[in-house]
Amino acid sequence: MAKRDLILLALDDERALKSIQDALQTVSYETTNASDRTILKKIIKETIPALVIIEEQFDGIPGIKSAGEILERFPAMPIFIYSEQESFVLYKDVIQAGLSGCLYPPLRNEDITSAVERGLNRARLLGDWLRREVKRTTASLKRRAKLTKSELNRYQIIFANIQDGVVILDEEERILLINKGMEVAFELSGKDLRGKLFSTVIDHPDVSSLLNRGQSLPLKYHTINFDDGRTYNAQYTPIGGIGSVITMQEISNLKQLDRLKNEFVNTISHDLRSPLTAVLGYTDLLNRVGSLNEQQLEFLNKIRLSMDSITALVNDLLDMSRLEAGFDTRREHLKLENILKIAQATVEPQLKLKDMELHTSIGKKLPELNGNPIRIRQVLDNLLANAVKYSPEGSTIRVSLKSEDNQIIFSVSDEGAGIPLSEQPRVFEKFYRASNVSKKVGGSGLGLAIVKSVVDWHQGRVWVESKLGEGSTFFVVLPTYNSTRNKTLNKLKK
């Protein structure tokens, strides 16, 4: 006969103990007795019985309390309370405590064994159910873990094969992940770069300045040039809690196209200039070779005005392509106040035509600039000409020139049309003309692009503050001669 379950008996009443023991042993259950609470605890700990029967008061402590302690460790353990007397109150307490039931005298064998069978059966069912649940949950967790792993694999393959260069850095700028695109760009293939400082792996001045700019500026578009002619556009994006991501797209072909387009524009503008000069010359000569009637004179005037604007456009195009090609690299010591005087004289006739005034405020002892006089003059000319062009008759233009922290700050304010807020960042783009004036006032949309190009080339900044219908102020900040010189010296020292 197979060995039956072990039943633990914790009863002070010896007669009851014997009856229960005999009844259970007759049907081949194994029994063990606990003579006090200490032994009860020891048996529970060491043998884990299949069922427990405790007397209502065992070793001076209520049996329900001892039962509660057992359930804390083994919540599915079937426990019966033996009491000398049948009591409804006790039965209620037993059920409330989550125990299996009560046993009372007279203790007939079949009552004892059937109660024990019931208790054990229930515990078995509960055990089976628990095992099934654990199995089910584990299987589902395993499935999920497997899914995450395969997903991770997929992401890694996608990341590795992105054409653009991508590198993810931690907060100390150590490489967390780097893809093939980035390795190819910097010729790093085959090395394990994870955990290394990005700046030590990639020693490139454009990358260093991207990292420096990335930490201080919100917008981080940046060009990275290689000696072999490749050009990349790079973005630096900080990611809270991780570090940052740098992405790079190769734009060498776009740069090449841009170069071709500039060459084309340059050639066309050059070729247009000579016939234009001829047309202008002959229109001037026309009324000298014979008298013209009033209508002919009017038409001639119209031709001249149109020719003027075509000439201005061609000149702007030529200037722009010269700037983009990097000509005019000559630099010298300049006094901006002197250039301003010349620009002021140039704009004087237009001011008079519109009955406008120009007020200047020039700081004392302004430091010199290190710049190209022709190009700087062009900046002032363009800003002043725009201020006049986009302002109403009789209004005032204010020009200010001062120095602050190794910088010269030049500003032109007008009381003109202003620029819609959403279009303000775009007015420095080539050919962009703001919607509020583009149909009323003529222009090429190149003047401010030239200004920006010149200012950038001088390591300066230009921006506009404007209110629609109230006026605009253009600011130009240029580094002084000493500050540019110090920077160059520092670079050489490095």
Nearest Cα to Cα of residue 383 among 314, 439, 336, 324:
336
DSSP letter assigned to residue 240: T
Q: Which of 78, 181, 447, 460 binds ligand ADP (CB under 6 A)?
A: 447
Q: Which of 245, 303, 358, 437 binds ligand ADP (CB under 6 A)?
A: 437
Q: Which of 321/472 has CB closer to ligand ADP?
A: 472
Closest approach of ligand ADP to the CB of residue 313, in Å: 9
Closest approach of ligand ADP to the CB of residue 440, in Å: 10
Closest approach of ligand ADP to the CB of residue 278, in Å: 25
Distance CA 460, CA 455 (A): 5
Q: Which helix (H) or strand (E) holds 92?
A: helix 88-96
Q: Which of 356, 419, 455, 476 binds ligand ADP (CB under 6 A)?
A: 419
Closest approach of ligand ADP to the CB of residue 447, in Å: 3
**In this structure, are strands 57-58 and 61-62 parallel, antiparallel, or unpaired?**
antiparallel
Distance CA 159, CA 290 (A): 78
Taking the CA atoms of residue 163, residue 168, residue 173 and residue 174 in that order, the dihedral angle to the nearest 10 degrees is: -100
Closest approach of ligand ADP to the CB of residue 222, in Å: 25
Taking the CA atoms of residue 11, residue 17, residue 22 and residue 25 in that order, the dihedral angle to the nearest 10 degrees is: 10
Nearest Cα to Cα of residue 407 among 463, 352, 369, 357:
369
Q: Which of 198/390 has CB closer to ligand ADP?
A: 390
In this structure, what token pair is assigned to residue 319?
Answer: 């200037």
Tell me if residue 392 falls in helix, strand or coil: coil
317 contacts ligand ADP (rule: CB under 6 A) = no
Nearest Cα to Cα of residue 413 among 348, 360, 365, 484:
360
Q: Which of 444, 480, 483, 484 binds ligand ADP (CB under 6 A)?
A: 444
Closest approach of ligand ADP to the CB of residue 413, in Å: 9
Q: Which of 344/406 has CB closer to ligand ADP?
A: 344
Q: Which stretch binds ligand ADP (CB under 6 A): 79-87, 228-236, 379-387, 403-411?
A: 379-387
Distance CA 283, CA 264 (A): 29
Closest approach of ligand ADP to the CB of residue 300, in Å: 25
Q: Which string of x and - marks every residue 383-402 that binds ligand ADP (by CB under 6 A)?
A: ---xx--x------------
Amino acid at 443: G
Closest approach of ligand ADP to the CB of residue 305, in Å: 15
**In this structure, are strands 407-413 and 396-404 parallel, antiparallel, or unpaired?**
antiparallel
Nearest Cα to Cα of residue 65 among 40, 31, 43:
40
Q: Which of 414, 415, 478, 481 binds ligand ADP (CB under 6 A)?
A: 414
Q: Which of 367/442 has CB closer to ligand ADP?
A: 442
Q: Which of 11, 446, 454, 476 binds ligand ADP (CB under 6 A)?
A: 446
Q: Which of 49, 371, 443, 460 binds ligand ADP (CB under 6 A)?
A: 443
Q: Which string of x and - marks every residue 87-106 that binds ligand ADP (by CB under 6 A)?
A: --------------------
Query: What angle is formed at CA 461 by the lines to CA 456 and CA 464, rounded to 5 degrees?
Result: 125
Q: Which stretch binds ligand ADP (CB under 6 A): 168-176, 225-233, 295-303, 441-449?
A: 441-449
- Rounded to the nearest angstrom, the gap between the alpha carbon of residue 119 and the centroid of all alpha carbons in its chain is 63
Q: Which stretch binds ligand ADP (CB under 6 A): 35-43, 202-210, 437-445, 478-486?
A: 437-445
Q: Are 407 and 335 in contact (CB under 8 A)?
A: no
Residues in 456-475 at the binding interface with ligand ADP, rule: CB under 6 A: 472
Distance CA 11, CA 377 (A): 111
Q: Are 311 and 280 in contact (CB under 8 A)?
A: yes
Q: Terminus-to-terminus CA distance in the chain, angstroms? A: 94
Which positions touch ligand ADP (CB under 6 A)? 382, 386-387, 390, 414, 416-419, 427, 432-434, 437-438, 443-449, 472
